[in-house]
Copies of this chain bind each other. A is one copy, B any other.
């Protein structure tokens, strides 16, 4: 490899690796060459390779695990739709850092649709949670969830603390719950959703509508989620 003057070598290596990745030489999930292999390939010192890799880690293109190696970060997350799939588990299972950020919340009276899904009378007070789910700081989905306010009074604070609905529900004695139904469609996002997903308004989102029930089969949550179609793929097995 020959270096063009004016641009530091590590930046040129970064560029080369980036184009290798985008051309599929290293596919998402693949193991990258080891540092020593790159040292031989590029004919530079190990630290120079590390400087380039460090930049790729910062920009979330690759992920490095000590002792194991470097891996191309999967930008499209496979999201299996099972009865017990949990967001944080899926994300951390892919060695990515999950986060669920509460954007706003409100207590209001159930509309007809919400009431029907939660199996309560219309007008019953429900908690509305509006949140963004991220992996490594990249937003993957925005969700609007409804829970019966009577049964889950104070869940908002717990959710904000634990950043996990599963955890919050545990505090209310619900150790186990499962997905009852999931309806899937594709739409264009509203301005607001597009902004929260940090994606263009003309890129579609996968929209799911779901009801979770406790072990007795009683509905505990009704939610509408918009997944970024560029970053998430739903898998039904």
Could you list which residues of chain A lie within 8 angstroms of chain B, going by C-beta atoms? 58, 103-106, 130, 191-192, 194-196
CB contacts (< 8 Å) of A130 on chain B: these are 191
**13 examples of A-B residue contacts, CB within 8 angstroms:** A58-B58, A103-B191, A103-B192, A103-B195, A104-B191, A104-B192, A104-B194, A104-B195, A105-B191, A106-B191, A130-B191, A192-B192, A195-B196
Closest to A132 in B: B195
Q: Interface centre among A58, A104, A194, by most B CB within 10 Å?
A: A104
Complex alpha-carbon distance, A192 and B130, angstroms? 10
CB contacts (< 8 Å) of A196 on chain B: these are 195
Closest to A130 in B: B191
Identify whether the interface residues of A are mostly helix, strand, loop, or mixed: helix
- Closest CB in chain B relative to A20 CB, distance in Å: 25
Complex alpha-carbon distance, A191 and B144, angstroms? 14
Q: A103-B195, A104-B192 are in contact. List 9 more A-B contacts (CB 8 A).
A: A58-B58, A103-B191, A104-B191, A104-B195, A105-B191, A106-B191, A130-B191, A192-B192, A195-B196
- Closest CB in chain B relative to A114 CB, distance in Å: 19
Closest to A201 in B: B104
Complex alpha-carbon distance, A194 and B195, angstroms? 14
Complex alpha-carbon distance, A104 and B130, angstroms? 19
In the A-B complex, the 7 residue pairs with the smallest Cβ-Cβ separation, listed nearest first, are A104-B191, A103-B195, A103-B191, A104-B195, A104-B192, A58-B58, A192-B192
CB contacts (< 8 Å) of A58 on chain B: these are 58
CB contacts (< 8 Å) of A106 on chain B: these are 191
Complex alpha-carbon distance, A194 and B191, angstroms? 17
- Closest CB in chain B relative to A104 CB, distance in Å: 3
Closest to A54 in B: B54
